[in-house]
Amino acid sequence: MERCRREIAAIEAGLVAGNPDVMGLLLGYADWHAELRILQDEQQQRRHGSDRTGDEGSSES
C-alpha cells in the first residue's frame, strides 16, 4: 500500500509541475488508486475473516 501512495504522490507532483503527459498521468493515477483499493479491500477481508470461526462453506447434508 505504501508503494501505491508513493506512486500516487509522484503522479500528483507531475501534474502540479505541469508535466505535458496529462492523459498518461491520469491513467496511472486511476490505476494506482484502483490497486490501493484492491489492497485495502483484501486487508479488510483478512481482518474480518480472522473474526470468523472458519466454518464457512461447510455443510452436512
Place of cell 501512495: 5
The rounded distance, in Å, linking the Cα atoms of 21 and 30 is 14
User: What is this structure's pTM?
Assistant: 0.74
pLDDT digits (tens, 9 = 90+) for 25-36: 999 999 999 999
Question: What would the pLDDT profile of 8-60 be if each residue is shown by its tens digit?
Answer: 999 999 999 999 999 999 999 999 999 999 999 999 999 988 665 555 554 44
Q: Is residue 55 in a domain?
A: no
In-domain check, residue 31: yes
**CA gyration radius for the chain?**
19
Residue 51 placed within a domain: no
Q: CA 15 → CA 7, 34, 46, 51, distances in Å?
A: 12, 18, 35, 42
Residue range of the domain that includes 24: 2-44
Around 9, how many Cα atoms within 13 Å sit in the side-chain half-sphere?
Answer: 6
Residue type for position 49: G
Task: Tell me, yes or no, whether 58 lies in a domain.
Answer: no
Any domain includes 39: yes
